[in-house]
Amino acid sequence: GNSVTQMEGPVTLSEEAFLTINCTYTATGYPSLFWYVQYPGEGLQLLLKATKADDKGSNKGFEATYRKETTSFHLEKGSVQVSDSAVYFCALRDQGAQKLVFGQGTRLTINP
């Protein structure tokens, strides 16, 4: 079945550091890929998405590229801020399917 594996957390960085959160997936078809962010005490918000191979999703300085050859969708940001502290979820949705499959989440803490 479909699955998503994220790098284990928690991840702690200093402000202005470079961020990478790894995400790999297993899917039978050609899924769309997503990164969601959850700030403390809140629900999830879509951060970015990519719907086909080699697409790059970007938002708020975050980027992720859909790599079919390595089945990966790693999240990157060049210079993180304290306000980026949150839990980040990678997710996929297979073609023709209605539901999303989520990874286990990665907790990110940015220290000033």
Residue numbers of the site for another protein (CB under 8 A)?
Answer: 4, 6, 32, 34, 41-46, 49, 51, 89, 93, 98-105
List beta partners, residue 63.
58, 76
Peptide bond before 31: cis, by omega within 30 degrees of 0?
no
The smaller minimum CB distance to another protein, of residues 86 and 103, is found at 103
Taking alpha carbons only, the member of 42, 47, 46, 66 closest to residue 56 is 66
> Nearest distance from residue 83's CB to another protein, in Å?
19
Rg (CA), the chain: 13
> Nearest distance from residue 56's CB to another protein, in Å?
16
The smaller minimum CB distance to another protein, of residues 50 and 110, is found at 50
